[in-house]
Each structure stands twice: as C-alpha cells, then as structure tokens.
Structure 1
Amino acid sequence: MTSDDFKTLARRTLSEPEQAARWLIAQDWPMQARWMALVLAVSVSGVLAYVSTLAFPVPEGEVPAMLGMSRQPLVLAGMQMVAIVLGAGLMAGVGRMFGGHGRFEDALLLTVWIEIMLLIVQAAQIVLSLALPALAGILGILAVALFLWLTVQFTKALHGFTSGPKVLLVMFATLLAMGFVLSFILAALGLMPEMPQ
C-alpha cells in the first residue's frame, strides 16, 4: 500500500466506512501481514502514549495506575494487542451468533485499521495539546465517537448486517457482559481493589 493509497483509504473510511471495510476485506492479505500490521499499530500507539507522558508530565504522587502504564510502552502495547485480538474475536464470534458470516481474519484486519485511524487522531491530539489544550480535549471525545461509529459500520460490512442501531445495541450488551465476566475473574485473582468499609 502506497502513501497515496493510505490517504485515499483514510478519507474513504471517514466518508464511506462500509465501502472502505469491504475494500480492505477484498484485498485478501495473508494472515502474516495482518499480524504484522497489528504489531506495528500497537507499537506506534505505545510510543505515542510514552511521548505524551514526556510532553505532559504528571506529578509523581498524582499518577493513576492506568496512566502510569503509559510510561511503559511495551506493557501498554502488549495490553493493546490483547484487547484488539479479543475485540476482533468478539466482532467475528458475536456477529456469527446473530446470523453474520464474517471471519476472524477479516475482523482482525478491520480492528487493526480502526486502531490506525485512532492513531492519527492521537497524534493530532498530542500536537493540539501543545498549542490549544481545550481543542485537544474535544478531539479526545471525538475519538471515542469515531471508535464507536467505525466499529458499528465495519461490523455491518463484515457480517452483511443492515441495522446500525441493532449492531450498536448488541455491542454495548457484549461490553457489559465482558465487564461482568472480567470483574469476576479479577476478583477471583484478588486483583479487584478493596471497597472502603
């Protein structure tokens, strides 16, 4: 993929996300290339998070645990890789439960492309934070909206669904169920914070 192809695909993703997703799936890239794209995306994301902590340091005693992980790019990249693979598995598996026909390989490719689109926003957010911090905050909110919108549109393209609201509803239900299951696992491992008495 050339830089011109990349720019065209990025623009098409914002204007016609379903068409962009179908184009990505139609390329039928080998699985090795998809894994390499995933590793590259999470590596760049980890580096950007680390650069952000250097550019905007937080006093040592005020660093939340999750924010502290951004100072360890390899750990952050590993966690993001697990999250993206899990997200691709859910996108493919839950969709098939509702009559879809998408494959995990294609779901992985689409979730990696969503991550790449979010990296562009993340880079712009870092630059804006230096000049216009208020706009950077708005961009962060837009990034969340972009993630949800692209996930819904890509899921529709992957499985051949037609209803965006239904996909969004199932997505939220899946996230709630995953949160419920993870809370039990974390509690069983003793990783949940103790509730104050």
Structure 2
Amino acid sequence: MQVDLKDWLMRSFTEPRAVARELMALNLPNETRFQAMVLVVVMSAILGTLAQMVFTVITKLDLGELTSPLMVVGLQASLLLYGAFAMSFVGQRAGGSGSYSDALLLLTWIEFVLMIGQVIQVVLMVFFPISATIMSLLLVGLMFYLLVQFTMELHGFTNPLAVAVGVILTFLGSALIAGIVLVSTGLVQMPAAPMPS
C-alpha cells in the first residue's frame, strides 16, 4: 500500500475510520510502530517547548522555568503506552477484537495529527495570541473525535455514542487510579485540611 501522509492527514478529519483501517492494513512490525511513537513524541515535545517559549515572549507572562523536553517525552510516551493498553483492553472486555499493537499505532497517528495542529497553533500565536486558548480547545475536541472513531474501527464497534461514553469513563477511571497511585507513593501530596478556629 502506498503511504501518503498528506492524504491520510486530510482524510483524518473526513474519513477517520478509513484512515485507521488503512494504517492497520500496513501490518508494520512492532519495532517500527514503537520507533514511530518515539519519533512523534520527541517532535511533539520539542514543538511544545517552542510553543511555551513563544507564548512567554508574546504575552510577557512569567510562566516559570520551562518544562524539560526529556520529561515531556517520558510523560507523553508513558501516556501513549498506557493509552494503547486501555484502548485495547477495555475494548476487548466490551466485545471488541483490537490488538495492543494496532491501538499503539492509531494513538501514535492521533499524536501526529495533534502535533500538526500544534504547528498551526504556534504560527497563529505569533499574530493572534488569544488564538492559543481557542486552538487548544479545538485540539482537545479533535483528539476526542479521533479517539472515538479509531476505537470503533479498531474493535469493529458501530455505536459511536456507546464508544464515546466508554472513552470518557475509561479516562475518568484512569485519572482516578493515577491520582491514587501518585498520592499513595508520595509523589503528590494531599493538601492539609484546615484546622478549626
């Protein structure tokens, strides 16, 4: 199958399920899928750091020390690896048949699409700083839309509403578990309750 990134990128907005189907049909080796994930995550981290620098210069706001790109890479890679697990595991429990490797490939593509959105965001930020917030909201909406569509294609589901609810519940459940783990391991401290006067 001929790979046309521009065509896939454009059709991710209009035919996301077809794009997901074509991506999975490539049957890429697991090593290649992992390398693609690392490449996209590194590029996204660099772009995110650049966006933070541009926003600071334009708005004159002191956002504190820049987040280390290496830390961003580690965090995003961990989220993609876990997200692929959740996407495949929860879907399989609901009767789907998608694999972990395909889930990782689809999430990597979503990250790539969002990265292109970040490029547009940085460009717009130079001329219209207020657009940064609007663009961020649009990217979140795009991520949710693609996640629902790709999950449907991955597992062969046909009800977008049920998948959307499943995505939201999985996200909330994952956030709750992550919070419990972070607090229990001492990585995050709970605020102390105020003493009665």
TM-score of the two chains, using structure 1 as the length reference: 0.90
- State how far apart, in whole Å, the 2-side matches of 1:6 and 1:158 are: 20
- Counterpart of 1:122 in structure 2 is 118
Find out whether 1:136 has 2:132 as its counterpart. Answer: yes
- Counterpart of 1:169 in structure 2 is 165
Q: Is 1:183–1:192's contact at 8 Å kept on the other side of the alignment?
A: no
Following superposition, the deviation at residue 193 of structure 1 comes to: 3.6
1:97 to 74, 90, 93: 93
Question: Does 126-135 or 102-111 show the bigger shift?
Answer: 126-135
- Counterpart of 2:12 in structure 1 is 13
Following superposition, the deviation at residue 196 of structure 1 comes to: 4.9
Residue identity opposite 1:101 in structure 2 = S
How high is the sequence identity, in percent, across the aligned residues? 35
Map residues 14-163 of structure 1 onto 2, 5 A cutoff.
Answer: 14-57=13-56, 60=62, 62-63=63-64, 71-163=67-159
Which deviations, in whole Å up to 9, do the C-alpha atoms of 1:105-137 show, x marking residues without a partner? 100000000000000001110110000123332
Which deviations, in whole Å up to 9, do the C-alpha atoms of 1:9-38 show, x marking residues without a partner? 111111100000000000101111111110
- State how far apart, in whole Å, the 1-side matches of 2:46 and 2:190 are: 29
- Counterpart of 1:181 in structure 2 is 177
- State how far apart, in whole Å, the 2-side matches of 1:142 and 1:169 are: 19
Which deviations, in whole Å up to 9, do the C-alpha atoms of 1:126-167 show, x marking residues without a partner? 110000123332211110000000000000000000011100
- State how far apart, in whole Å, the 2-side matches of 1:115 and 1:172 are: 18
More helix by share: 1
- State how far apart, in whole Å, the 1-side matches of 2:14 and 2:43 are: 25
Following superposition, the deviation at residue 179 of structure 1 comes to: 1.8
- State how far apart, in whole Å, the 1-side matches of 2:67 and 2:179 are: 25
| Number of aligned positions between the proteins | 190
Determine helix, strand or coil for the equivalent of 1:81.
helix
* Contiguous gaps of at least 5 residues in structure 2: none
* Contiguous gaps of at least 5 residues in structure 1: none
Residue identity opposite 1:89 in structure 2 = F
- State how far apart, in whole Å, the 1-side matches of 2:4 and 2:172 are: 37
Closer/same/farther in 2, CA of residues 8 and 52 from structure 1, 3 Å limit: same
Residue identity opposite 2:20 in structure 1 = A
